[in-house]
Amino acid sequence: MIKFFLGVIIALALIGGAIKFDSDEHSWQLIIHKQEALHSVQTGGIRIYKIVKGLISDSDISDSSSIVVEEG
């Protein structure tokens, strides 16, 4: 479970542009901008929350349908 959350955080940071890869002829560098990473993870988390909240509220059948009981 922790690996999943860590993967999500890294993916959100990559999408937000907080991680930059830089290389020259002698070495490779992975540069992480902490403030940009924090901002992109927060923004991405809020967007995912809003999407999931919208999906749950749109699929709630009990609010939009009625139950009819017939005796017979």
Q: What is the pLDDT of residue 14?
A: 79
Instruction: List the chain domain ranges.
Output: 2-54
Mean pLDDT of the chain: 79
Residue 71 or 28, more confident = 28
Question: What pLDDT is recorded for position 65?
Answer: 59
pTM score, two decimals?
Answer: 0.55
Q: Which residue has the tokens 């349908």?
A: 65
Radius of gyration of the chain (CA): 22
Rounded CA separation 8/55 (Å): 20
DSSP 10-31: HHHHHHTT-EEEEE-SS-EEEE
**Band of the pLDDT at 67, cuts 50, 70, 90?**
low
Element (H, E) at 32: strand 28-32
Is residue 23 within 8 A of residue 29, CB to CB? The reply is yes
State the pLDDT at residue 72: 57
